[in-house]
Structures are given as structure tokens and as C-alpha cells.
Chains A and B, each alone.
Chain A
């Protein structure tokens, strides 16, 4: 048989000569089952995905089934590989933000933040970042943590057939996306956090918008809790499903909610603070049942803690009008961009200066914007606590204006390895719950 007719290579690999092989690509399931029954062969390999509504994008799960029980599970990835890391080597350090924000599109601001922290470490300007820029980063990251957890719960609920969870989750997420749109101009793929600070200051009125929406979001999360926490159907689906204990987490390099659901309070915001997290008052929630239900409850707890941080940070932003970009003019974006009365993001003062007053300013602007700043040779690794676990960025510079290498340690990429440990021995329906409890986003996994 040629590869053309046997698309999955089922007849060419790992098969004993006397094992009958049925290759089902479409057709009537009942016919296949009848045929399999006639052959007394119970072992069925099912390709779940890559196009499947409950695999979080384009995840391919290869499940070996014995009846309804999963005896072996493997995850196949790479269907969303877009070469972001390679592309970043061909753009300036500042332009890199625009690429990496597209990796895990559910937590774009974390991708930007970790990349910028890594570049700032390479530049040696970590302690020169203005406090207001750090506070804005914290504000955006914590709001983004809430949206990411809401997406996890909403899609996870929908995969179990609970559409109300989905509608509530996305309704609350929408409130925060509107805040993002007001601040960065976009609902996702913001490219707002830049090496040295953030692209522009908060537009007028956004703090009030955050303040107005916080109680509403809190109420919405409360609604989710009232609907789900003691819901017998949900508990029946989630309790003791997708179990992975602390030993398993440590061996597989798991971080984030999966690790904290085993009872270990490991959170980089506490153990390795960045962006001034050590100055905020919050707790690291933990659960100890190590199952999908624990991870769900933990995410809800974390959302409340994020709201707590947001309340503190908007207080500080009120008090601190300071700059939002590092002072060094060799690194900082030349224009102080702000939304003007015409609704456009130009800085008329800056245009007057470079076009009408100072030739040197024009040259400086041109050099910095087209060529970019240079970063001293060496390498750096920055890590932050993303909603899914440790998000790391390893950047290497050769002294030029573009990254020599940018590598992202995406938590979803690492955590997806645990699918086999979580799903094997359970039923097919539990695979969906286990995968949803890891909260993988394929944009980040495949990069």
C-alpha cells in the first residue's frame, strides 16, 4: 500500500504481520465497529484532532482505546508552527514585541512582558524602568491573567457541554478586552509593552474605566462560582480526573496552576519577583487534590487575587504621573505618543521638533526607528509567572540591532507533555477534561 492511500501510515509501522488493520477515514462508525467486532480486535487507535472542537486549536491527540478506556495517549503538535523565533532574528529588538505577542494569543501581554524583561536584562537597564511603566505592566498582566483564566474556564466548560459557563466567561472577558482596547488600541496582539517601558501612557479615563469594571468582573466570577463550585455534574466530570501529583509535576517540569493544584505554592511573583511584584499585597492560592477540579478552583482563586493586585495598582497609578519609558534617549522610543484630539496616535510636538526645528532630532529619530538600538553581546533568561506557568525568554545578542536568538519557554509546550500521564487509564471523555485543565494554547505551544 502506498502512502497516498494510507495517509496515516497505519499499515507501515509498528504492526505485526498477523494484526488486522482497519483504517477509518470517514464513513459510518457503526460499520467499522461491526467489522472490528467480527475480527475480535478491540484495540482502536483514534486520531483526535488536529481539527476538533475540543482540542484548543490544532492539537492532535493520538489515543489508543480499549473499548472506552484510553490505554495510550500521545500528543502531536506543530500544526500552528509559524516560525516566530526565526522571524524575530530578522527584525529589530523593538519590532520583536510585535512577533512574540502573537505566540500565546490568550496571554499576549505576558509574552511581551517576558521578552522585554529579557531584553532589558541584556541592556542592563532593569532598574532604570520607571515605576509607572512597571505599574502599567502589572495592571495589564493581572487583567490579562483574568482573561486567560476566563477563557480556560469558558472553553473548558463548553467542551464539557456547559454553554452558560462559556457565555458568562466570554462576557466578563469582554469587559477587560474593552479596557485593553482603550489602553493599547487593540483587543489582542497589542505590542504595547516595549523594551524600556511601555509604548505610550494610559489615555485619560482608563483608570476610571478599570475602576468601574472591577466590581462587575468580580460579580461575574462570583456567578461562575455559584454555578460551578458545587455543581454535581461538574464535580462528577472533574473530581479525580486528570490527576497528576507533585512528583509527576516535578519530573515533567510542570509549573503554574497544575503545580499549585498539588499543594506547592510556587509562584515566580513571590519567589523571583519582577516588575515590582514584591511591593503588592497578594496571596498564592493552592489546592491539594491534584485533579482537574482543583485546577478549576485554583484559577478562580487566582482571579480574585489578580483583582486584588489591580485594585492596588490603580491606586498607585493615580499617585504616580511619572514617565512610562526609560530616560536613556538611545533606547527610548523618540516620540511621546499619545492619542490626540483628532483620535490619532501622533505626537504633534514631536513632529514639529523633528520636521521644523532640529535636524539632529530627525537623524536620531530615523536611526532609532529604522535601525534600532544596539544591545551588548551576551545572553539573558527572564522568567515570569504567566497564567499557565513559567514563561521564560532566552535572548542572545551579538551586539547588533536585532536578536541573535530569541527562544521562548512556553508553559503550554512543556505542560502538554503531561497529557499521557493524565489521560492514560481514564475514559475518552476524561481526556477532554484533562487537556482543558492544562489550558494549552497552541499558538504558544507551536510558536
Chain B
């Protein structure tokens, strides 16, 4: 990056590691086995089973990028090294806290066990060489076929001080025990994001100050963004009356 791009490059650290431009594919030297996360059936993946393409019997595994080997490329090596040192100083361990590192499409993803998330989040924020000031969003993803890891919470962090560096932290929890420690204490800005993820996916963030529904009505049953939740077709109760879904309103359907 040239100098004129950052009007106030805040620290020396920003210049010591070269940033990866967005979208640039970082070629890692060794990549582990791809992770099978689901199996797609049929051609179009119709949820109703009415695949008319003639390929309804197709079974194809879905492989997600596998574990990356060092060097990760770009600033990712410096970042993970700094995290390793800082975690050790804070009484944690990198081997325990980061179960898997994935480098894909120019982005670094750290898979973190749920009990380690608060420590990792705090370290990412407070360590001077990391300084991820903001947790931008919490996004849920539901992988119904990823046994015992059905619900994923995906956190995106940005470090403004160190030149807009980004890291993604992904935490997987089983559907049968969807508990995850909240990081509102460290990043107050994720309050609503965690509420949205609870609302849409049913991930329970332990320690959240007020984990209530945020987009859906307070008494709504179910979590709409889950894969087993249908699109539409849900009657809505409003002030004692039941409003049928649009597809059921017409007598000539």
C-alpha cells in the first residue's frame, strides 16, 4: 500500500506486515483434506423433492476448504504468531484455543472451541500487536448435516489501528446444546448481533445482558433462518385473529 492511501497511518506495526488486498487468493503451501460438511441431493436441491431435472438421484458431497498449513501468506502468519504469544501470556494456549486455521479466498478463519471464545476475543481486542477494536458482525449458519456442529456462529473482526486487517472467528455448537458464551462484555457492539443470531438460529449466548428476540415478534415460535424452517406458509396470529399465509388465502389456488 502506498503512503497516500492512509492519511494517518497510526502505528509502525501497520507498515511492518504487508496487507493482503481484498479478493487476492493467498496460495498456502500445504492444505489439509477438505472438510465434508454436507451432502447435496438432486440437481437443484429442491427441498420439496420435486426435482424434475432427471437428476434427482444425484448425491454429491459438499467439501469446504481444509486446514491450511504454514506459511499462510500475507499478514496471517504474523497475526497467528502474535495470537499464540498473547494467548500464552493470558493463561491460554494456542493449540487449545484454535482448533483449525483455514485460509481461503484471501481470508483467514480461525475455528475456536466455544469455551475458548471469550479469551480469544479479549486477546484479539487487547493485545497491542493485534488490536482488533471492532467486532463487526455475528452471523449464524446452519449446517444440519454437520453432526454435533450444526450451528455455526461466525464473527468478523477488524483492526483499524493496524491498517484494516480482518480475521474471521468461527464457533460451532451442536443443535442439542446450542450454548455459546457471549462476548458482549468485550465488544458491547455485538449486543444486537447476538440477539439476531439467537432470534434467527436459536444459538443461546450465555451471559448476554438481555437475550431476547429482536427481529421477530417476542412470542414467535421457532428460528426462521434454520434450514428446516420453511420459507413462507406460516399463519400469523395478530390480536387474536389468525392471518393465513398468502399461499392459502385464495380459494382458487
* A interface residues, Cβ below 8 angstroms from B: 4, 77-78, 81, 83, 85-87, 89-90, 117, 120-122, 124, 126-127, 250-255, 264-266, 268, 270-274, 278, 283-284, 371, 377-383, 390, 392, 394, 396, 398-402, 404-405, 407, 409, 413-414, 416-417, 446-447
Contacts and interface: CB of A to CB of B under 8 A. Distances in A.
Contacts of B166: 381
B209 to A, nearest CB: 12
Contacts of B124: none
Given A86-B231, A394-B139, A402 B216 contact: no
A418 B104 CA distance: 34
B154 A446 contact: no
Given A380-B107, A383-B136, 13 more contacts: A81-B216, A89-B231, A90-B231, A253-B189, A265-B7, A378-B65, A379-B168, A380-B105, A398-B38, A404-B141, A407-B140, A409-B139, A414-B189
B101 interface: no
8 cross-chain pairs, A with B, having the tightest CB-CB distances, nearest first: A253-B189, A126-B23, A409-B137, A271-B164, A407-B139, A81-B215, A78-B215, A252-B189
B189 A251 contact: yes
19 contacts: A78-B217, A86-B229, A89-B231, A122-B105, A124-B105, A127-B23, A251-B187, A253-B189, A266-B160, A270-B5, A270-B6, A271-B163, A273-B21, A278-B5, A371-B44, A394-B139, A398-B40, A399-B60, A416-B192
Nearest to B21: A273
Given A86-B231, A271-B160, A399-B62, A417 B141 contact: no
Contact of A381 (B107, B140, B141, B164): B107
Given A121-B105, A251-B189, A394 B156 contact: yes
A270 B22 contact: no
B180 interface: no
Contact of B22 (A81, A87, A377, A382): A382
Nearest to B134: A253
A307 B105 CA distance: 33
B109 to A, nearest CB: 8
B190 interface: yes
A407 B163 CA distance: 25
Of A89, A127, A379, A447, chain B has the most CB atoms within 10 Å of the CB of A379
Given A86-B225, A271-B164, A400-B45, A390 B136 contact: yes
Given A253-B189, A414-B189, A378 B160 contact: no
Contacts of A274: 22-23
Contacts of A81: 215-216
Contacts of A117: 23
A417 B191 contact: yes
Interface residues of B, number: 60
B135 interface: yes
Nearest to A122: B105
B106 interface: yes
Nearest to A389: B136
A394 B216 CA distance: 21
A400 B40 contact: yes
Interface of chain A, main secondary structure: mixed
A146 B102 CA distance: 39
Contact of B63 (A83, A251, A377): A377
B22 A121 contact: yes
B85 interface: no
A127 B23 CA distance: 8
Of B60, B106, B214, B215, chain A has the most CB atoms within 10 Å of the CB of B215
B215 A377 contact: no
B106 A407 contact: no
B42 to A, nearest CB: 10
A407 B137 contact: yes
Given A270-B5, A274-B22, A399-B40, A414 B139 contact: no
A394 B154 contact: yes
Contact of B187 (A253, A254, A396): A253
A77 B63 CA distance: 37
B25 interface: yes
